[in-house]
Structure 1
Amino acid sequence: MNLKTLTISIILGLGTAMSASAQVNFNYKDQSISLAQSPKTLAVYDLSVLDTLNALGVDAQLVPAASFSGDLNRYQQEKYIKAGTLFEPDTSVLQKSKPDLIIVGGRSASKADSLKAIAPILNLSPDTSNYLEDLKARTMTLANAYSKQKIAQEKLERVSQLQAELKKKTKGKSALMLFAVGENFMPHAENDRFGFVYDLAGFKSVLEPSEKSDAPRPTAGSPEALQAAANVKRLEKAVAQNPDYIIVLDRGAVNTQKYTAQDNILKHPALKNAKALQDKKVIYVNADAWYITGAGLNNTAFMLKEIMDAL
């Protein structure tokens, strides 16, 4: 082999190696997606994912039409293409925009199969039954694809520090998590939608864990939701155990900031005489953060600090 041929071979070999190194992989649970490079056009239909990307300094180009709050408010700008809703991605807009990757989760997860013909689909639905470990897994899945490992590790360490600080304050303390819809207050135990708060914050639940279920959540405020959750006897039994704290998520304040639970709890027959209410140990959490954004990287730090500040 002459020098010219050898040089060409080396160049071709380097080009192949560089091409292989540019490949990015998304691995989460049983999903494995390989792309030639980090997605340049990214569609995201889960606000916890948007929150994590925002924490990492990564932009999505296509997002649902939603009421973005806090740090995600910039997605209201027209430069971000609105392609459907959190529940219903707009396939015509997606087909026109040709995203390199579509990320679904939570509310949009059921639409994954209908989008596969448009682009690779990654389902990053949060698993709040294993909150912090799952947050780390979802965060690093995104961080590895965009070479954001350093900032991801720093922010994950901050979340772990906040949790440790909070658990020092909640050690030996009990709590009751309530989801308020109008005048109805629904107790959430471990394995219920917002039952993750006990393990995340370090509280002892005064409720027995609910059975785990993969069934779709009933619509908030529907007869099914109210009948399943507004069990007066269950609520009375929980209150009788005198939880040190009551945590309230007011569904009516989502996107409106109109909190009515503070007044309604004073009239509720099972709650108005609760010791935690008399002791002024009721924590009313930010409705948008807990109900809409959920288990994102920055938002988790916000939720932990919110409870810590309220104690």
Structure 2
Amino acid sequence: MKLLATLFIALIMTACASGESTSEEETIEITDAQNHPVQAPLSPEKLAVFDYALLDNIEALGFSDRVAVTSSNPKPAYLEDSYSDTPTAGTLHEVDLETTMSEEPDMALIATRSAESYSALSEYLPTADFSLTQESPFLSIKYNVSQLAKILQAEDTASDLLRDLDDQRQILQDEAADSGQKALMVLYNQDDISVYGKGGRFGHIYDDFGFEAADPNIEDSNHGMQVSYEYLLEIDPDIIFVLDREAARSAGDEADSAFENHPLIENLSAKQSDEIHYLTPDAWYIGNGGLQAYQIMIDDISKALN
């Protein structure tokens, strides 16, 4: 079966090559987030994109019509309209190479959940991995969007969008510092609680938006540190940010969360001072790394501070 798929892809590649003009395609060399040098086609017409944040960034830059194929996974609500009719090829975790190649893309873009497909895709296509690898979420967005903009020849647009987000981010940093509040980032999943610290997957709260960590000893981890309600009472943060995983998967909101149903919650300072805030689920959980998702994050934090 694998041999047949390989032969099928080879036939597609041969057919594509026979239809190309003899002139050499213009390219640009960029370095992706994993330090792979990538010889990318300049302003490609057809992109295979297997990441929510990349779909977000491509739309923000004005090129959603260039996405020729993507994954079948449910997308963040704010991206559904733009990509509802886009052909799909497998999932983020298991890209269907044969179907991808049948759409004749010029280039593949992957990140995080689809990163394991780099070897398979790069065998046939220029492939860039734009996972979040920098020191903070915003620095990752800044780097990835800047490199993507070079490929799409949209550097001025990217600079304007990044500058606007950075200006807003710095205002929030000042407000968070002035508030003096010690914060805790919580991922809630059907009575399981994980907390995140500086440098973690949801370290935006501290690394980008300037809150002091209620617990500075949380390990830097992609999956967080699993804790109990008793832990929350012991740490007793001034402000709690809750991301409900199930709401993220169902495009729900805070109304769907059972986080506050536990009786110990009533004893938390954050509960008594009305400082438990729910984050927009799909932006934080599955859109992390996107320009539009980051604007939603800024809006969430701004509401909490004001």
Shorter chain as denominator, the TM-score bin is: 0.7 to 0.9
Distance 1:248 1:182, change over 3 A: same
Q: Percent identity?
A: 25
Question: Is residue 243 of structure 1 aligned with residue 248 of structure 2?
Answer: no
Partner amino acid, structure 2, of 1:265: E
What is the deviation of 1:244? 1.9
1:118-163 CA distance string (max 9 Å, x none): 3122110113642222211101101111111111111101111111
Kept after mapping to 2: 8 A contact 1:191/1:209: no
Aligned residue number for residue 39 of structure 2:
34
Separation in 2 of the partners of 1:68 and 1:152?
23
Distance 1:246 1:36, change over 3 A: closer
Separation in 1 of the partners of 2:200 and 2:49?
25
Kept after mapping to 2: 8 A contact 1:66/1:85: yes
Separation in 2 of the partners of 1:62 and 1:267?
44
List gaps (5 residues or longer) in structure 2: 1-22
What is the deviation of 1:210? 4.0
Comparing 133-142 with 66-75, greater Cα deviation is found at 66-75
Q: CA RMSD in A?
A: 2.4
Query: Of 158, 167, 175, which residue of structure 2 is paired with 1:169?
Result: 175
Separation in 2 of the partners of 1:70 and 1:261?
16
Kept after mapping to 2: 8 A contact 1:283/1:310: yes
Separation in 2 of the partners of 1:137 and 1:258?
30
Distance 1:304 1:62, change over 3 A: same
State the secondary structure of the residue aligned to 1:111.
Answer: helix
What is the deviation of 1:165? 1.6
What is the deviation of 1:193? 2.2
Query: Of 52, 61, 72, which residue of structure 1 is paired with 2:57?
Result: 52
Instruction: Report 1:204-283 matches (<5 A).
Output: 204-212=212-220, 229-232=225-228, 236-237=230-231, 239-256=233-250, 257=252, 259=254, 262-267=257-262, 269=264, 271-283=265-277
Aligned residue number for residue 19 of structure 2:
none
Distance 1:263 1:23, change over 3 A: closer
Query: Of 88, 96, 105, which residue of structure 2 is paired with 1:99?
Result: 105
Kept after mapping to 2: 8 A contact 1:62/1:82: yes
Kept after mapping to 1: 8 A contact 2:184/2:215: yes
Aligned residue number for residue 164 of structure 2:
158
Aligned residue number for residue 293 of structure 2:
299
Structure 1 segments of 4+ aligned residues over 6 angstroms from their partners? none
Query: Of 127, 134, 150, which residue of structure 1 is paired with 2:133?
Result: 127
User: TM-score, length-normalised on structure 2?
Assistant: 0.82
Count of aligned positions: 277
Distance 1:255 1:128, change over 3 A: farther
Distance 1:177 1:306, change over 3 A: same
Aligned residue number for residue 3 of structure 1:
none
Question: Is residue 289 of structure 1 aligned with residue 280 of structure 2?
Answer: no
What is the deviation of 1:293? 0.8
Aligned residue number for residue 9 of structure 2:
none
Which of the two has higher C-alpha Rg? 1
What is the deviation of 1:75? 4.1
List gaps (5 residues or longer) in structure 1: 1-17, 219-227
